[in-house]
Amino acid sequence: MRIRKWLGLPIGVSLTYAILAGLWIGLSDYILVFLVKSPDLLVTLSLTKGLLFVAITALLLYVLLTSWQGLNRLERVEKPLIRYNRWLIAGFFATALMVPIISGGLIWKQTPQVERETRDRLMAFSQLQADLINNWLAERQGDANNLASDVFLMQAIQRWLIVDEDSGLEQILDRVFTNRIKAYGYDAIEVYSAGQLVKYWGGKAHTNSNILSQLISDSGRAQEVMQSSLYKDEQGVLHLEWLIPFPAEDMERSIVLVLHASPADILLKALQHWSAAPDGAMSYLVVQEGNTPKFLGLDEAGRAVVEFSCMHSSWLLQVQGVSDLGSVIKTCDDEKMVFGYTDIQNANWTVFTQMTQGQARDPLRELVGWVTLISSLAMVALMLMLWMIWRRELMAHKFEIETRAAEKDALIDYVSHYDHITGLPNRVLFMTRLSHQIKHAKREHKKMALIMLDLDRFKDVNDSYGHAVGDELLAALASRLSDQLGQMNTLARMGGDEFAVLIEDLPNTKSAEVLAHRIAQNISQPLQLTQGAEVRVGVTMGISVFPDHGQNADALLQNADAALYRAKADGKGSFAFYNDELTELARQRVRQELQLKQAIFKKHLKVYYQPQVDLKSNHIVGAEALIRWLDPEKGFISPLNFIPMAEETGLIQEIGEWVLREVCTQGQAWLAQGYPPFRLAVNVSAQQLRHGGVDKLIKKILDETGFPARYLELELTESALMQEVSHIDETLIKLRQLGLTLALDDFGTGYSSLSYLKRFALDVIKIDQSFVADLSHEQNGQQIVNAIITMGHALGLCVLAEGVENTDQLAYLMQHDCDLYQGFLVSQAIPADDFMRLYQKSLT
């Protein structure tokens, strides 16, 4: 039962896997050594197998552990983690001990086979060396046999020896032997008669050689070609001779031809280290001289053949002084050396190649070393991975405990600082933020506003529908206000049905008034609750401004509450500033806004038309549509009083749409009545452009009224063009595609008029009336107007002058080629019927 429980844990599975993986690595390497005989291939396969094994099993282990269901319930693993830590350590040492044991067994088991393979390689290498020497000896032995069978050469030498004066024979012999020296690389060719040197060709004669003298005597008696033994001359140069005796009746007339060759070059080639030779192998040439073998090899630089004293090799010491070298080599089983040998067929020589057993075992040791290293690294990596997993589980458990504690602290902090119904900051957090923002506003010298909100008729909702519906209403209103205010302002629930809004960056007091008005409109919208009830509430607000109404959080909050109570006393659904004067101004603007809404609804707004005259023909060619407010009680109300308010409250969009529709309807009516067509200009506000869709609105009105787009002109102010440039670009392009005319109003009083003339596709620029008014008495005004006219014409634009009131102004404009004008000189803005009578009069 305990074993099953232990195996059910991730740490138990991991440790079991580590032990099995260690056994697999060791056994697979052991089997691979038996199957693969090539050491190089064995190394490659072992490394590849090890790397693939580590990569695949690590991936599988990672997938297994990360998907383990038990990791999601870490509280069950806390005690087993501590208990099975000892098993992790024991498993590490057990698997680590298995690797060297298996590696040692591999070396012990494979050593005999490796030595056999090395001996076979040494035998094959010595055979290559012996073949090279055999070929060299065979070439020279064959040449000697050819000379011995040459009857003409024998007769020529005999006659030359008898008749010394025969120079022709000497020249023939010189040529024959010189060619032999060049062709076969002999050092010298000598002729002996009666045991004495007669003449030699090539290198230095060897007359002082006792060995040569003895061989000459022996060959004379043997009457056959004889190869002399390998020996050194007085200068230490290796020599080898072939003696060719010619038949003679007695020793007095015997002739022996001696071919001298130096075997140093061929021995250097044969005994040097070839790329095919096993690493560490050394080669010797064993020459039998009587009962004593002579050992020749290369010096340390590998540039000369030297004779060894045999003191450095136990094997050479064993065979030194033995006459039957071959039998000794065949029967010797030296445990410290691995060797191979091959006899030279044409000489009493043996090529002997040897290396120590340690050198023979080095490849196996290197192979096993790499396998051991890779296996050890793989096991260490696996155990390290298991240890990291164990640490991960432990740290994850600790992290869960810490996370739960942190979540508990965060929950306590949230409950302490946030309202549980609306999720908004509560009074404590709001006062903290208010104090912080006051410090910031003091440093930056900025204004702030605090608005206290109290819901009207909220008690009636609680009493009628219950507290659950009341809480839902509070949450819905909080969400609606949060969306309206965004992240720049702070909204908090102070308790009950009271909310607070902190306006952190207040441009002016009027902005707080506008925001309060919009909040009132937002809250007054009906709410559809989950129970199907539709609820509508109102709001009363009190406003205090920093630093005018308080220097700290408590003072601002107290004064905002005081303003709230004053607003309640005046009647629900209103708002009040802590300052009486500001409160009165705010109330006045609220009344004006309400009156403006009623004026739109009751059609107290009228469209008047001011004529636009061509300076060359003095005919009316167009009119600017201007809005007028005619109140039944107050009479005429100036646009300067209600247009800014309409823009602040958003009513300007409704008014602008109404004006466009009225102008297009009136223009189409005039065309239907048969009047000649002329252009009607309508002002478009910055808000209409900023909110977008003005092109769709105009197209819709044109389609509904049937008024041709080419007779409609839109007048834009520079403040309107200073909105989002990319958005304005797109809108103006769409308007031009409709076929409208675009005019820039009040030119010269804005920001960077020249840049707008270059950027936007305009048709008309209107000179502001402030410049026209200066034409009569100011030279600067004249220069400005003249510059605008010149620049407009250079850009291909029509230039219209506004506010023309006297003939002097008109004369100056005509003198400087202004195109159009409008102003009181021709007429002020008048109703549609009066304008049409004036238009008809201008045509006559």
DSSP string, 394-410: HHHHHHHHHHHHHHHHH
Give backbone dihedrals phi and psi of 627, rounded to 5 degrees, phi first: -90, 145
Angle, CA 285 vertex, CA 279 and CA 287 arms, to 5°: 160
- Report DSSP state, residue 624: E
- Report DSSP state, residue 347: S
pLDDT band at 17, cuts 50/70/90?
low
Structure tokens at 478: 């909080």
Q: From CA 196, how far away is CA 205, in angstroms rounded?
A: 12
What's the pLDDT at 474? 85
Q: pLDDT tens across 329-382, in order?
A: 544 444 466 677 777 877 778 887 877 666 666 666 666 666 666 666 666 666
Give backbone dihedrals phi and psi of 621, rounded to 5 degrees, phi first: -115, 0
| DSSP per-residue string spanning 644-662 | HHHHHHTHHHHHHHHHHHH
Strands (DSSP E) contained in 504-658 are 527-528, 534-535, 538-546, 575-577, 605-614, 620-631, 635-637
Higher pLDDT, 620 or 103: 620
Highest mean pLDDT (candidates 80-84, 140-144, 576-580, 645-649): 140-144
pLDDT band at 84, cuts 50/70/90?
very low
Higher pLDDT, 531 or 344: 344
Q: Is the pLDDT of residue 754 over 70?
A: no
Q: Is the pLDDT of residue 705 over 90?
A: yes
* Sequence-ordered alpha helix ranges (H) in 67-202: 78-83, 85-148, 151-162, 167-184
Name 307's bridge partners: 296
Structure tokens at 638: 């100036």
Q: What is the mean pLDDT of the chain?
A: 76
What's the pLDDT at 74? 43
Average pLDDT over residues 646-670: 88
What's the pLDDT at 537? 84
What's the pLDDT at 368? 62
- Cis upstream peptide for 547 (omega within 30°): yes
Higher pLDDT, 188 or 94: 188
Higher pLDDT, 76 or 808: 808
- C-alpha distances in angstroms, 165 versus 160, 161, 189, 199, 364? 8, 9, 21, 15, 74
Q: Half-sphere exposure (CA, 13 Å, Cβ side) for 740?
A: 28
Residue 647's nearest CA partner among 683, 681, 688 is: 688
Q: Is the pLDDT of residue 224 over 60?
A: yes
Q: Is the pLDDT of residue 607 over 90?
A: yes
- Cis upstream peptide for 425 (omega within 30°): no
pLDDT band at 72, cuts 50/70/90?
very low
Q: pLDDT tens across 708-736, in order?
A: 999 999 998 876 776 545 567 778 888 88
The four Cα atoms 75, 77, 78, 81 give a dihedral, to 10 degrees, of -170
Q: Is the pLDDT of residue 809 over 50?
A: yes
Average pLDDT over residues 643-662: 83
Q: pLDDT tens across 442-468, in order?
A: 888 888 888 889 888 787 777 677 778
Residue 492's nearest CA partner among 557, 411, 444 is: 557
Average pLDDT over residues 779-806: 89
Could you identify the residue written with the tokens 């839109």? 714
pLDDT band at 216, cuts 50/70/90?
low
What's the pLDDT at 152? 82
Contact 616, 644 (CB under 8 A): no
Could you identify the residue written with the tokens 């769709």? 696
What's the pLDDT at 24? 67
Q: Is the pLDDT of residue 1 over 60?
A: no
Q: Residue 521 is which amino acid?
A: Q
Higher pLDDT, 246 or 580: 246
- Report DSSP state, residue 709: G
The answer to which of 2-16, 246-260, 439-453, 530-544 has the lowest mean pLDDT is 2-16
Helix (H, G, I), strand (E, B) or coil at 260: strand
Residue 485's nearest CA partner among 456, 508, 519, 452 is: 519
What's the pLDDT at 103? 59
pLDDT band at 73, cuts 50/70/90?
very low
Q: From CA 52, how far away is CA 61, in angstroms rounded?
A: 14
What's the pLDDT at 839? 92
Structural Rg of the chain based on CA atoms: 60
Q: Is the pLDDT of residue 56 over 90?
A: no
Biggest alpha carbon distance in the chain? 174
Contact 797, 765 (CB under 8 A): yes
Contact 599, 628 (CB under 8 A): no
pLDDT band at 584, cuts 50/70/90?
low
The answer to which of 150-159, 605-614, 692-701 has the lowest mean pLDDT is 150-159
The pairing of strands 498-503 and 635-637 is unpaired
Q: From CA 160, how far away is CA 144, in angstroms rounded?
A: 20
- End-to-end, the C-alpha distance of the chain in Å comes to 118
Count of other CB atoms within 10 angstroms of residue 286: 23
Share above pLDDT 90 across residues of the chain, in percent, rounded to a whole number: 13
* Sequence-ordered alpha helix ranges (H) in 718-824: 718-721, 725-738, 753-759, 769-773, 779-794, 807-815
Structure tokens at 256: 């022996």
Average pLDDT over residues 495-515: 83
- C-alpha distances in angstroms, 803 versus 86, 90, 611, 775, 826? 100, 102, 11, 11, 10
Give backbone dihedrals phi and psi of 721, rounded to 5 degrees, phi first: -75, -15
Name 292's bridge partners: 289
Count of other CB atoms within 10 angstroms of residue 236: 9
Contacts of 234 (CB under 8 A, 6+ apart): 208
Sign of CA dihedral 194, 196, 197, 198: negative
Count of residues making up the chain: 844
Count of other CB atoms within 10 angstroms of residue 404: 10
Higher pLDDT, 40 or 338: 338
What is the edge-to-edge ordering of all strands in the sheet holding 575-577? Answer: 490-495, 498-503, 448-456, 538-546, 575-577
Higher pLDDT, 128 or 660: 660
pLDDT band at 54, cuts 50/70/90?
low
What's the pLDDT at 740? 92
Higher pLDDT, 324 or 167: 167
pLDDT band at 82, cuts 50/70/90?
very low
- Report DSSP state, residue 71: G
Angle, CA 159 vertex, CA 158 and CA 163 arms, to 5°: 125
Count of other CB atoms within 10 angstroms of residue 522: 15
pLDDT band at 221, cuts 50/70/90?
low
Highest mean pLDDT (candidates 391-395, 529-533, 800-804): 800-804
Q: Is the pLDDT of residue 70 over 60?
A: no
Q: pLDDT tens across 271-330, in order?
A: 876 766 676 677 778 877 666 677 777 776 767 777 766 544 455 545 544 445 555 454
Count of other CB atoms within 10 angstroms of residue 227: 18
Contact 605, 629 (CB under 8 A): yes
- Report DSSP state, residue 711: G
